[in-house]
A and B are shown apart, each in its own frame.
Chain A
Amino acid sequence: MEKRYSARALRRLAVALCLLWLPLPATVHAAGAEFSLKDYCPAGFQLNGEGCYLQSLYASYDSLQDSGVGGLKTGLPELRQGFSPRQIDLGRLLFFDPVLSGDHSMSCASCHDPNKGFSDGRALSVGSKGQLAKRSAPSLWNVGFLKRLFWDARASSLEEQMLGPLYDSHEMANTPEQLLTDLRASSAYRELFAQAFNGDSSIQLDQVYTAIAAFESSLISLNSRYDLYAHGYHEALNEAEIEGMNIFRSFVARCAECHTPPLFSHQQIAVIGTPEPNNRPLDPGVAAVTGDASQRGGFKVPSLRNIALTAPYMHSGRFATLREAAEFYTGGRGHAVPPGEKLSLHWHIWEPKLTGEELDRLVDFMGALTDESFMPQIPASVPSGLAPVVGVQ
């Protein structure tokens, strides 16, 4: 144990020295450190053959029509899984490595910061050269369960989704050519890609996407105190939280009709009419993707797991607190829709007349959905030799 520790310390020192020499803006540099990929699965997963598979108490339940929605003891929707431990671990290194961005200043973790529930704490994310993104960064916890990605559901796989941030001039502003050139210039990455992809050290784009998708799918948060309640350990929630849960799933508040357990999203599109911050024009949401006017202002119902960690809320980041987000639903049907807009508001958006106390209890309950026990390790160094980037710099 002692020995391993000192080897590790030495490695850190080497990395640190290496970093000191780097000119700015940082160029890709073969890091002095040797990297090797974990040959065991991340927390919550077990190796079965070549791939890692989730171990969850939810596996003992089914769900109607295998839909992955229902009540307390309900099976999960299908998870992207079966990636090898090494692919997942390679994805972890890539996720934190700013070599993925055009000017080597941003990583995925810039906006999906593990310390902020894999979000960034901002209303609108800040991308390349300080440009504001159009929307707020969603959490990536449990993202491997989602069939449609982005607030407006415009991507249908993680691989398709990441083309957005990687190559968008507002976000990481890279190009596929530069990404490949940079990664191939790193002997460390060539070695690691060979470890993850059957000895193939050529580094292909689809391998980059697979590895990142593998890592994203490993971000599982299903061991909150709520989950213990659901599995039958009723003492895990206090009275206020149970009261909040009952309001949440009541047919007055109706939160669970859209934020349906076990993921707290039924993954459908809903037009609910949340307000934009100060005079920004209405975000057309799904309608801008499909051209279908009835979907104007429609967004994918977001999961509420770890929601207490990811303020501010909604696609626009308009609400600073969970209390304000909950209060939106009792403000009256369409109260925040700009004059002159006619939205096909969802039928569950109505006038529930929730009391102030009920709103407080809803907030209590949403707080019981927090679980970060399977937090992945933030790498101390990444194979490009650049310093890993976490959070907004």
Chain B
Amino acid sequence: MVRAMHWLVIALSLVAGMHSAWAADIPVKEGESIQAAVNRAAPGDVVLIHPGEYRESVYVDKDNITLRGVVVDGEWPVLEGEGKRNDAILYSGNNFTVEWLTIKHFKGNAIMGQAGNNYTIRYNRVIDTGVYGIFPQFGKNGLIEYNVLSGIEDAAIYVGMCDNVVVRHNEVFDNVAGIEIENTRHAIVENNYAHNNTAGLLVFITPGLPIKTTYDVILRNNFVVNNNTENFGAPGSIVAKVPKGIGVVIMAADEVVVEGNIISGNQTAGIVITDLAFVTDIASDPDSEPNPDRIEILDNLMFDNGADPVADVKAAMMTQFKRRGPDILANFGSAQEPDNCILNKEQYVTFGLKKWSKCERTSTADIETYLLADGAPPREIENDEDRTLRLYQGICAGCHAYNMRMIGPPTVAIQALYHNNAKGIADYIAEPHKVRPDYPPMPGQGHLSEEIRQKVAEFMLNVKK
């Protein structure tokens, strides 16, 4: 019994200890710096940003960090770019969460990720930032939900070169592009409200990028309404070439399912399916497959689309003796081929769908999510021992093999020289001097902190093979 109590105490203290080790809250108040808090944060920590205005950009190059706004009495924390700061939030760490922030007036993006996996971006308001609102890039497994974004001159939510993404319950309006899925696989875009953009939802392959494919994308249960805003994209940008008045654009992407959406009031067309010829004046990329293949349009509610189409579509209308533009337009080329399918085609005004076949499935309800149940596997195990090992193998072992001459003398010879004197090694490598006439000089490692040099030195003295 006493023994059991004893264990309980240890167990409890372990839990408590772990808790404080991996979930400290770091409060930031107006007048303080969010970045300073991030710099102090350890993996697992939550930076709590209190209401007020913050005139800074924040970057997060650590894993498991949460930036969480604290909203009090309707007062939000606001990141203010004043039209001169680049991006509001830049992250590269895994398991990053950002939520409850208002972001305004940045030159670049509001929230931008470069290679962080398992990201969560939610409950944010993004107003009139420059290029993209939310832009994760090169990330696996991400959730983007309950964000409201407006006034963005490119895509409000732009998922670029990612895998396994769910974008849901967001409102995007008054942007050039509402939600864009580009060179990305296994994505679900559902329950969003995309209105009053130049175009609502876009699923693209853009040529010239290092990851070439887009496939397995589901667009379902979204409101895609009245996307008729004049295109105000920056000259030269890809979205600047998108005609106004389109609900959904599918360009070159494969295996896109469109289901259960309400698509109405888009004056050029409800849905456009096209190959890469849609964007002109762009360098060709032979490694990008240009054709949209195996597109499935299941049941959608569509009306009042094509009321006042742009000139090109109007011309196509004339040739078909139609009085209004299409709900669904398959552009010339492979978009018109029978590998694409649709349900209840006769309900809609369609151009170019003559050869389309009838879809076999009627619903994607069996697919609940594309998020990974266990997340993307961590890129590395973060503990000191492991880091020292990798530092030794990645840097020192490049020149020091255990028992033979490489660029530097064998590790056994160094162990014999230094015995227990790790400090001696740590000092030597900070500023190596010439010892052996028949070896090249060793490059200095003074950029490693003293602590790391000491650890690596200890490691070297204990290498056994």
Collect the chain A residues with CB atoms within 8 Å of residue B286's CB.
290
Assess whether B210 is in contact with A72, with CB atoms less than 8 Å apart.
Answer: no
Is B11's beta carbon under 8 Å from chain A?
no
B59 within 8 A of A: yes
Report yes or no: B208 in contact with A60, Cβ–Cβ below 8 A: no
| With contact pairs A43-B407, A260-B210 given, residues A295 and B284 touching in the complex (Cβ less than 8 Å) | yes
Q: Given A55, A70, A377, which contacts B394 in the complex, CB threshold below 8 Å?
A: A55
The contact of A55 among B138, B139, B393, B407, by CB within 8 Å, is B393
Determine if B210 and A57 form an interchain contact, defined as CB atoms under 8 angstroms apart: no
Nearest A-chain residue to B238, judged by Cβ: A347
A346:B114 contact, CB within 8 angstroms = no
Partner of A350, one of B112, B237, B391, B405: B237
B282 touches A69 (CB 8 A): no
Interface flag for A116 (CB, 8 Å): no
CA distance A353 to B234 in the complex (A): 14
Name the distance in Å between A260's Cβ and chain B's nearest Cβ. 7
Is the CB–CB distance between B86 and A247 below 8 Å?
yes
| Proximity string of chain A (363-393) to chain B, C-beta cutoff 8 Å, 1 when within and 0 when not | 0000000001111010000000000000000
Out of A8, A64, A252, A294, name the residue touching B162 (CB < 8 Å). Answer: A64
- Kindly report which residue of chain B lies nearest to residue A334, judged by CB atoms: B236
Residue contact B447 to A64, C-beta cutoff 8 Å = no
B86 engages A252 (CB within 8 Å)? yes
Residue of B nearest to A296 (CB): B283
Report Cα–Cα, A295/B208, bound state, in Å.
Answer: 11
The stretch among B26-34, B334-342, B351-359, B437-445 that forms the contact with chain A is B437-445
- Cβ of A267 within 8 Å of any chain B Cβ, yes or no, is yes
Cα A4 to Cα B439 in complex, Å, equals: 12
Closest to A250 in B: B86
| List of B residues within 8 angstroms of A46 by Cβ | 397, 401
Known: A43-B406, A252-B108. A350 touches B236 (CB 8 A): yes
Does B211 sit at the interface, judged by CB under 8 A? Answer: yes
Give chain B nearest CB distance to A330 CB in angstroms.
12
In the complex, A8→B437 CA distance in Å? 11
B237 to A347, Cβ gap below 8 A?
yes
The stretch of B64-72, B127-135, B196-204 in contact with A is B127-135
Check B452 for interface membership: any CB of A closer than 8 A: yes
Give the distance to chain B from A3, nearest Cβ to Cβ, in Å.
10
CB pair B236–A45 under 8 Å, yes or no, is: no
- Asked if A294 and B115 make an inter-chain contact with CB atoms under 8 angstroms apart, the answer reads no
A64 touching B236, Cβ below 8 Å: no
**In the complex, chain B residues whose CB is within 8 Å of the CB of A72:** 61, 92, 114-115
B residues less than 8 Å from A8 (CB atoms):
438
- Segment at the interface with B among A169-177, A230-238, A305-313: A230-238
Partner of B163 from A65, A298, A375 at Cβ < 8 Å = A65
B282-336 interface with A by 8 A CB criterion? 282-286
Name the interface size band of chain A: 35 or more
Q: Mark A51-78, 1 if CB is under 8 A from B, else 0.
A: 0000111111111110101111110000
- CB <8 Å contact, A251 and B135: yes
B147 at the interface (CB under 8 A from A): no
| Interface 1/0 per residue, A323-343 and B, CB below 8 Å | 000000000010000000000
- The answer to whether B375 has its CB under 8 Å from any CB of chain A is no
**Which residue of A67, A251, A350 has the most chain B CB atoms within 10 A of its CB atom?**
A251
Question: Does A268 sit at the interface, judged by CB under 8 A?
Answer: yes
Cβ-based interface call for A106 (8 A): no
A123 contacts the other chain (CB 8 A): no
Q: How far is the CB of B22 from chain A (nearest CB, A)?
A: 17
> Is B210 within 8 A of A1, CB to CB?
no
Per-position contact with B for A14-57: 1 when CB-CB < 8 Å, else 0? 00000000000000000000000000111111100000000111
Complex contacts, A352 vs chain B, CB 8 Å: 107
Nearest A-chain residue to B110, judged by Cβ: A251
> Which parts of A223-272 form the interface with B (CB within 8 Å)?
223, 225, 228-229, 231-236, 246-247, 249-253, 256, 260, 266-271
Q: How far is the CA of A246 from the CA of B382 in the complex (A)?
A: 24
| A233 and B452 contact, CB distance less than 8 A | yes
- Contacting pair A252 B130 (CB below 8 A): yes
Please judge, given known A-B contacts A228-B447, A333-B235, whether A268 and B210 are in contact too, CB under 8 Å.
Answer: yes
Residue contact A40 to B401, C-beta cutoff 8 Å: yes
A349 sits at the interface (CB 8 A)? yes
> What residues on A are CB-neighbors of B391 within 8 Å?
57, 231
Shortest beta-carbon distance, A315 to chain B, in Å? 16
Task: Name A57's contact: one of B108, B285, B390 (CB within 8 Å).
Answer: B390
**Chain B 212-255 against A: per-residue CB contact (8 Å), 1 yes, 0 no?**
00000000000000000000001111100000000000000000
B109: min CB distance to chain A, Å? 4
Q: A1-B438, A5-B437, A333-B236 are in contact. Are A251 and B87 (CB under 8 A)?
A: yes
Nearest CB of A to B129, in Å: 10
A235 neighbours in B (Cβ, 8 Å): 449
Residue of A at shortest CB range from B62?
A232
B residues whose Cβ falls under 8 Å from a Cβ of A: 57, 59, 61-62, 86-87, 90, 92, 107-109, 112-116, 130-132, 135, 138-140, 161-163, 208-211, 234-238, 281-286, 379-380, 382, 387, 390-391, 393-395, 397-399, 401, 404-407, 436-438, 440, 443, 447-449, 452
A-B contact pairs, 7 of them (CB 8 A): A60-B390, A71-B116, A74-B115, A250-B112, A251-B135, A252-B130, A294-B282
